[in-house]
Structure 1
Amino acid sequence: MGGMFRIGASPAPWAPRIGELEQQGPAPRRERPLLAAYGLILVLVAAVGLLLTLVTGAFADGVQHPAFWLLAGLAVIADARAFIATGRRGRPVIVCPSLCFSFAILLCWGLGPAIAVQAVAAAVVAWRMRLPVTRAVLMAAQFAVASTAAFGVLALGSEELLETINVGDALRDAASVVGAAAVWLVTYQLLRAGAGLLARNAAPQNVQVLRPVPTYELLFIAALLLLAPVLAVTAYMSVAFVPLVFVPLYAVERMARLAAERDLMARRDPLTSLANRTGLAAAFARLRPNGNEPAHDPGLAMLLLDLNRFKYVNDALGHEVGDRLLVAVGQRLRSAVPEDAVAARLGGDEFAVVAPVTTETDARRLAEAITEAMATPVKLEGLQVDITGSIGIALAPQDGTDFATVMRHADVAMYLAKQRGWPIQAYRAEDDHNSPERLALLSDFRHALQMGEVALHYQPQVDLAGGRVVGFEALLRWEHPTQGPIPPYDLLKIAEHTPVMRMITQRVIDEVVAQQARWLAAGVELRTSLNVSIPDLHGDEIVTQLSERLAHHKVPAELIQVEVTESALTADLAQLRATIEGLAKAGVAISLDDFGTGYSSLQHLRRLPLSEIKIDRSFVAGIAHNADDAVIVRSTVDLARALGFRVVAEGVENRYTARLLTEAGCDVAQGYLYAPAMPGDAVIRWLGHHPTPA
């Protein structure tokens, strides 16, 4: 029996093979009659082949030779003492070299003796692997049918294979042997494929199930078959040389095992022994072989798990202890997922699971089981280390049909869960700001920035008490060639956390300071606010650039104000605080934008050098008809005044709202009630019709 034979009934879910009946569990009940009929047909074909050799006397002729018994005994011994290698997912792989001996017997003494020896070898393997008798009979029948096909090729060639002496006959015989080996291999693989289709309850037209076996296994079986004629010639010359064949057999087995281990390592994470990204993709393909035809394919769920605060473990206890924590996480993850699911480590502290789950409810149950498995602390270096994480869920085919799309959507859900502080989050298309369309828009926006096609407009800010213009806010404006004007919020959302964001900030700083210089030359001295993102506040580059541009254009620093969104204060404030304080020391005022939409602590307001708080337009718009919004606005104004901050209300669109804000004590307002944002060269003309500060 040639090839590699895995111990255990169930297959490695992330390593599908072509029709491997040996790896499959029990066939579904409705398929068992078909599988039994298939096995019966194979047994009958094998019996016919054996009967023909008995009738013709070929069997009796073979057993009279001592060399036959030597080869037969070595075949059984070889399978009884077969070499063991480590297979995929850690399961043993047994290498059975008996095919070399049985094929040599086929070449020397015909079909009957070969079938009989192979049947005994199959029984030995089945006994060693504790397989049922029916499985052993089916395997022996598969080998018998393959041998019958090979014998047919030999019969078309030479009847006296080993008695040729001239070059022409030798070449013809060599071609017959190679052809017989090829037919044997093809026939055997087709038989395995047929058994596999029945065992997996797959439709015959499902050609994607017929994936090729690994190259190393094909080469191993081919090497066994092509060693057989060498063994046959050796037995024909002298049986004393026959045992020497174990040396090349061992070398072939060794190379096959190393190839199998390399194939395994290509699909396995070496630290946790879970699947890696390649193994996860193989599992996805196995569970959804008809990914392009969702109606004919079962659904599945992909869960992406990212650990919280893993970096702190590495920094505090060292990377070796961090690796031990990852191993513990891998063990718990493996124990939490069902048998038909596959757990993987993608790298770092990121893990994933694919499971044949069709509904979001069931996927959430699996995510909750994983969270519960992680709940018990891990003891490392005498410390109890808690394991928490964020899990993102994506379903196929609802959230995508291919591996890359489903994984990307699970990744989006996972990061959203991390941002919100939730343990579990399912993918929602409306939360995905990284669609191909948005990426294309980002590319177009980058090009527009480089070509100078993005403009800055300025919206006035008006003192509510005196009605005077006290400043402007610089706002991005870009008209896409085909999509028309793109809202600034959408631009900043897709550019955030990309290099384009830094390009935007640099462009805004350069243009705003240059515009201030032009206004000063025209006799206008008004403050201008510009927006910066969270990544801009990491490092002092923005402080350096702003200081250089102010000095170059001879613009006073107090005429520039930097707006920081409240969400920045929920990030790592220790890293951002130094930059914010650097801007304040340079004389630039700091405004806290979108106040009320984030989760900042009051201590941030007290510790940061803020000059202004801007109430988000969502609260301002509701002040006239929503009592809760009115209370929030009044409370914010009172808090800001107590801390000495100026208060600006965004999105003021009618006089009634402006009057309510004035009564609440708000200082400044901006919105369409006063003017939309306008180009910089239109500001001076607009100011000619509106009062300016004294």
Structure 2
Amino acid sequence: MWARQRGSFIAFNVITLAAALAVLLTHLGDAAANAGSAAFWVMVVLAVLAGTQAFAAEIGPERIRVTIAPTVCFSFAILLTWGLWPAAATQAVACGVIAWRLRRTLFEAAVAAARYTLALGAASAILWLGEPDPFRDNTGSSLATDALSVVAAGLAWLAVYGVLFLGTRLGEGLPWRRALVVVRDQVLFNSALLVLSPVLALAARINVAFLPLAIIPLIAVQRLAQLSSQRENIARQDPLTGLANRTGLRAVYDRLVVGPPTRLGAAEPARPSLIILDLDRFKQVNDALGHDIGDQLLVAVAGRLPRVDPRVGVTARLGGDEFAILARADDPQALAQEVARGLNQPVYLEGLRVDVTASVGVATDEGEGFNALLRHADVAMYEAKQRGDTIATYDVRSDRASPAQLRLLADFRRALEVDDVDRLRAHYQPQVSLSTGRIEAVEALLRWNHPQMGPVNPEDIVSLAEHTPVMVMLTRRMIDRVTAQVAAWNAAGVSLRASLNVSTRDLYSEELIDHLAERIAHHDIPPGQLQIELTESAILADVRRAQAPLRRIADLGVTICLDDFGTGYSSLQHLRRLPISEIKIDKSFIAGMAHNRDDAAIVRSTIELARSLHIRTVAEGVEDDITHKLLAKARCDLAQGWHTARAMPGDQLPAWLAEHDDDGRAA
């Protein structure tokens, strides 16, 4: 398809050139008719000088490059006064000057001159039909007829030039709608120039000395065009660093996505990738050294970022200490590593050494639009910051705000609101005593069966809900389920302690503690049959703040377990200040103790320290007999894992227990 379009584009330009040449050949008689006219040569010089003031502007949100040059008013004035050939020749010379100034090719200059020639030819034909020389001293025609001829000629010029310019832009691969916007702006600009042409023609007839005065309005028109272009550039540029801003980044993305079609048989260009980096500890620099130093640091960082070819991307500052690089890159990860390497060296600002590090997120466009790409790169960047890595690539599984994840969270919220007991349930995994073999406790685990997706991984849904109000709703439902189940077991003669997990958000909620107390009283169960599990990081992140709610829970008679113990690198010193009854040794240590001496040593020492503080120990993730025996030898209290049993619905647990010996020992 591209090959056909490219061929049509070349053919269109060749036809334009041939048609312009044909028009010129039919008007050779005008070539030297006014060679001796001083006014004519003054007009030519002014046209050439106007060509030297040409500039390339980027218009529209797609930043489409167009040429702005006020030469048209002179060539059209020459047409009105001296005919087509002198006008076309003058415009052709001006096109050559413009091409030289803007570093365009000779072919581009020739095609531009051909467009102008055909537009002038159309205007000449209208003048020939109406009034060939509207500015001569003549009583044979009225002023109205003269004015009408000039206006009609100008409209013909605009129509032909607009059509030819549109054909050129379409041939370059620009979509119809955007090409029409560019043509509209060009027609408006040239209309303003054509209005000046009759004034120049009259000045040439009356007194050649008046012609230079036309420079004043032309400078005004040119200046307005430049100011408009500069305003658009400023709107797309960060004033501090000179890089593109968010608006400029969006414009380049739109241009890359709607770029020219790919040549048939050629490899598809790489999809645009976005790299976002956020400086680490930038706020500390601002607070400690002042905003002036902070600004200098931002400028220094901007200077170290790789500059990408404007044809395939852009480097931008999004605001604050956040930068971005958008590019068609075959290996965006390599580009991200180049960014990270560029920031490795310290920056010296006013004699102070400032070490610069950044968290970098990488995302590749998947056709979902600019906002989605920006969000994906942002998610990846925060993932890198959270993990302590330098670079992270976007992974939908870690995106808690993706549309799919948000829909899943909304479905989960609805299940909680209607209390869907058929699909939203608690399963219970037994905990066996390593000294007696009895099942002493269970841990309540969430199970949700989505209507369309089926069983959902509990870790996925908890991670989604954890920082939202949905987490509070989930904890309330789990309290309801567990307290009701414990009461049902008691009625059936099964007495077990049941643990349920609570998040940090729940720990500091007075309402949830009140709800726990109310459910215990409602079902008339001993508080000691309930245990709250909190992760080590949740409690030890702020021990002082955690003391009050933990003490209130303990005052209810509910025991407290420290889950995932060992992952937060905490000290058992903290446990002396907190009402902790049990610690659960993280499965990452348990799984390795059978073949890793270090893990085994950590587990044994943890058990001994806990025993010295009269704290119960639970080993989670026990999946084989060797580990089970090693834990028993180390005098661990309880074991939980597939070696004993998988989690099961509460109503199935009594039957499972019945399969054990009469004394309740595990079979």
Residue equivalent to 1:443: 410
- Mapped partners of 1:459, 1:526: distance in 2: 12
Alignment of 1:594-605 (within 5 A): 594-596=564-566, 598=567, 600-602=569-571
238, 242, 246: which one pairs with 1:277?
Answer: 246
* Identity percentage of aligned residues: 46
1:371 aligns with 2:340: yes
TM-score normalised to the size of structure 1? 0.74
Residue equivalent to 1:421: 388
* Deviation sequence 1:199-218 (CA, Å, 0-9, x none): xxxxxxx5669963758952
8 Å Cα contact 2:95/2:113 also seen in 1: no
SS in 2 for 1:482: coil
Residue equivalent to 1:297: 268
8 Å Cα contact 1:358/1:395 also seen in 2: no
Distance 1:581 1:177, change over 3 A: same
Residue equivalent to 1:72: 44
1:154 aligns with 2:123: yes
- Mapped partners of 1:258, 1:328: distance in 2: 29
- Mapped partners of 2:266, 2:583: distance in 1: 54
Offset at residue 47 of structure 1 (A): 5.4
Residue equivalent to 1:19: none
- Mapped partners of 1:258, 1:401: distance in 2: 35
- Mapped partners of 2:260, 2:572: distance in 1: 52
444, 452, 455: which one pairs with 1:485?
Answer: 455
Distance 1:377 1:223, change over 3 A: farther
- Mapped partners of 1:595, 1:503: distance in 2: 26
Residue equivalent to 1:201: none
212, 217, 222: which one pairs with 2:190?
Answer: 222
Offset at residue 668 of structure 1 (A): 1.9
- Mapped partners of 2:608, 2:252: distance in 1: 59
Residue equivalent to 2:85: 112
* Deviation sequence 1:85-143 (CA, Å, 0-9, x none): 999999x99853122222332343332222232244345445656x4xxx474454233
Alignment of 1:516-665 (within 5 A): 527-533=497-503, 536=505, 541-542=508-509, 544-553=510-519, 561-566=531-536, 568=538, 576-588=542-554, 589-596=559-566, 598=567, 600-602=569-571, 609=578, 610-617=580-587, 619-620=589-590, 630=600, 633-641=603-611, 644-652=614-622, 657-665=627-635
* Deviation sequence 1:207-252 (CA, Å, 0-9, x none): 6699637589526533344424443564477457655544543443
Aligned residues: 630
How well do the aligned residues superpose, as a CA RMSD in angstroms?
4.8
- Mapped partners of 1:46, 1:338: distance in 2: 34
**Greater CA radius of gyration, 1 or 2?**
2
* Deviation sequence 1:618-650 (CA, Å, 0-9, x none): 554566677776555435434544565421122
121, 136, 147: which one pairs with 2:94?
Answer: 121
* Deviation sequence 1:156-215 (CA, Å, 0-9, x none): 423125366375785565344213213113324544776xx5xxxxxxxx5669963758
Distance 1:680 1:545, change over 3 A: farther
Offset at residue 387 of structure 1 (A): 0.9
Distance 1:518 1:352, change over 3 A: same
Letter in 2 for 1:391: V
SS in 1 for 2:237: coil
- Mapped partners of 1:69, 1:577: distance in 2: 90
8 Å Cα contact 1:336/1:373 also seen in 2: no
TM-score normalised to the size of structure 2? 0.77
- Mapped partners of 2:428, 2:50: distance in 1: 86
Offset at residue 446 of structure 1 (A): 2.1
* Deviation sequence 1:317-369 (CA, Å, 0-9, x none): 4555434322222121146999965212233332222334313xxx4443333
8 Å Cα contact 2:174/2:259 also seen in 1: no
SS in 2 for 1:60: coil
8 Å Cα contact 2:480/2:519 also seen in 1: no
Letter in 1 for 2:582: E
> Which ranges in structure 2 are unaligned for 5 or more consecutive residues?
1-7, 136-140
Distance 1:154 1:38, change over 3 A: closer
1:178 aligns with 2:162: no
Residue equivalent to 2:474: 504
8 Å Cα contact 2:624/2:643 also seen in 1: yes
8 Å Cα contact 1:460/1:469 also seen in 2: yes
SS in 2 for 1:272: coil
Letter in 2 for 1:495: A
- Mapped partners of 2:629, 2:68: distance in 1: 87
Distance 1:318 1:209, change over 3 A: farther
Offset at residue 374 of structure 1 (A): 1.2
- Mapped partners of 2:494, 2:349: distance in 1: 65
> Which ranges in structure 1 are unaligned for 5 or more consecutive residues?
1-33, 198-205
